[in-house]
Amino acid sequence: MQEAEFGRYVDRSVLEIMERQPVFATYMGIHTWDDRLADYSPSSMESFTAELRARLAELERVDASGFSEEGQIDFVLFTQLLKSLIRSHEKVAQHLTNPNFYLDEAMSGVLLLVMKEFAPLPERLRSALGRVREIPRLLAQARANLQPERVPRTWAALALEQAQMGPGLFQGLLPGLAKDVPDLAGGLREAGEEAAATLVEFARYLEEELLPAARGDFAVGEDLFNELLREDHMVDYDADELLETGWRLFRETEAQMKELAHEIDPTKTTTQILEEAKADHPKAEELLDTYRRAMESTRQFVIDHDIATIPEGERLTIVETPEYLRPLIPYAAYMPPGIFEEELRGFFLVTPVDPSSPAEEREQRLRGHHHAKLPVTALHEGYPGHHLQLVRSVSHGTTARKLGMMLSTLFIEGWAFYCEEMMEQAGYISTPIQRLARLSDQLWRAARIIIDVSLHCKGMSEEEAVDFLVTRCQLEPANAKAEVRRYTATPTQPQSYLMGKLEILAIVEEYKRRNPGASLREMHDAILACGSLPPRLMRRQLFGA
């Protein structure tokens, strides 16, 4: 196989893989199967895994030594991605253990068609109708596949919360959007009622059957955890080394915070200063507008201070987090454009504060958006963080290179976190209390390393992890619970923020050493042009090593 043939092989393989995962295809910007949901029958899952194994075996017979340097990097990347997909099906196997696996397919499959304006609304609603009609089949497969003895109780409880939030999507939102499309309104209303009834029944099954019987362990164990580090993130450290590094970084950050807090007010503790800062937050109804202003401010700062090149035509839309995702996203999150989309439009999701929740809980949620921290969140998620990096990543390069975001989050999360301190050094994060808030977020990211390893390799319970975030990092209990729930289902992802930042700092120092005259923008543009590569491959791209 020659390099050009390999490129065509990747393009063809990706289309065949996406046909098996139609919702993910929509997310990535392929709209051939927008009216379908995935088939998770045992026969379909087995044949899909067999196809992936056949592709991997074919690539293992290829000698890529004659490829260009970039071609060799793409070859390694795509080979590792195939291994990761096989591992996900055979070892992680969330289709057998996590009811959220199916709920996300059902609800994201519809919401993506509503949020992403890639076609006229009637066309997207027609596809949504096809997916809504498949929800009863999908949830029947969920009940057939899930193995209660392997389902962690916390995943069953979370799925119950999400299932209870789902009916409104099918009974309210979709029929409301279709009111001006007469030929679809009746079908969406009828299919929506059936889907909502199916969700209500699925929630009953979760509450009365699955939850009482759920006794699985969310921990993947040290062997698989180390395999994920080695194969997906392509790093040399293992769980024990990672835990040691996490504790070192945690203590170093605590010391930095204590020193800065003393400068701010020597009569108060770090915790007292931060708790007072949290009381200064936007009102619930002002939350989205406050983030919009912060995003505009960070974008202009990047332009004015020549931080990095912003691609022409990019857009960042700020919206409320969909209801079914709110138990998993306590503050905010970013959704990038798909790698095959023409429009460079990302979405910044902000989780609103439920006005019907108790006053104490509303205040807890709002304290997570306090004014000292909010600019840090905005630059992390928007400019020059996730949005800028990912629109650069998807806007050019080979298909294999664009798929880097599917393999490892080490550079993606590390870049956004690196931007926090870099923007402080550039003058955007300027007041002492903002700097303390940034360090507070760094403490939380160091805690993620500790908790990531401890949950999956050292027997830490969910309750212990929540308590750690509340008592050692001052997260609000409701937000800490949402965080830990996510960590239980995403082993090695939580460690990627601070560990990724360390990798990027090393790359930055090496780049400066090799290119002493380069400007900040030139350096950042060179790094971002590599795509979402694991740092080991990024070094090879930048430095040939």
218-254 pLDDT tens trace = 999 999 999 999 999 999 999 999 999 999 999 999 9
Secondary structure of 155-188 as H, E, C letters:
HHHHHHHHHHHCHHHHHHHHHHHHHHCHHHHHHH
Query: Is 63 domain-assigned?
Result: yes
Whether residue 205 is found in the same domain as residue 245: no
Q: Which domain holds residue 191?
A: 3-213
Whether residue 321 is found in the same domain as residue 470: yes
**31, two tokens:** 């709209």
Averaged pLDDT of the chain: 94
Instruction: Check if the beta carbon of residue 541 is closer than 8 Å to that of residue 533.
Output: yes
Of the candidates 532, 541, 542, 545, the one whose C-alpha atom is nearest the C-alpha of residue 233 is 532
Categorize the per-residue pLDDT at 545 as very low, low, confident or very high, splitting at 50, 70 and 90: low
Whether residue 432 is found in the same domain as residue 486: yes
From 213, 239, 266, give the residue that closes a domain.
213
Whether residue 132 is found in the same domain as residue 8: yes
Whether residue 195 is found in the same domain as residue 328: no
CB-based contacts of 64: which residues, under 8 Å, 6+ apart?
3, 6, 71, 72, 75
Q: How many domains does the chain have?
A: 2
Cα distances from 12 to residues 19, 20, 84, 400, 490, in angstroms, run: 11, 13, 18, 11, 29
From 213, 247, 275, give the residue that closes a domain.
213
Longest dimension (CA), the chain: 69
Whether residue 203 is found in the same domain as residue 264: no
From 182, 213, 244, give the residue that closes a domain.
213
Query: Is 90 domain-assigned?
Result: yes
Q: pLDDT tens digit string along 131-142? A: 999 999 999 999
The residue with greater pLDDT, 412 or 325, is: 412
Its pTM stands at 0.92
Whether residue 179 is found in the same domain as residue 71: yes
Query: Is 223 domain-assigned?
Result: no
Averaged pLDDT, 37-43 = 97
CB-based contacts of 467: which residues, under 8 Å, 6+ apart?
none
Please state whether the peptide bond connecting residue 384 to the residue before it is cis, i.e. omega within 30 degrees of 0: yes
Whether residue 258 is found in the same domain as residue 168: no
Ranges of H-type helices in 265-286: 270-278
Angle among Cα 497, 425, 262 to the nearest 5 degrees reads: 85
Whether residue 262 is found in the same domain as residue 125: no
Percent of the chain with pLDDT over 70: 99
Query: Is 72 domain-assigned?
Result: yes
Q: What angle, rounded to 10 degrees, do the helices at 374-381 and 287-304 form?
A: 60
Burial class (CB in 10 A: 0-12, 13-18, 19+), 516: exposed
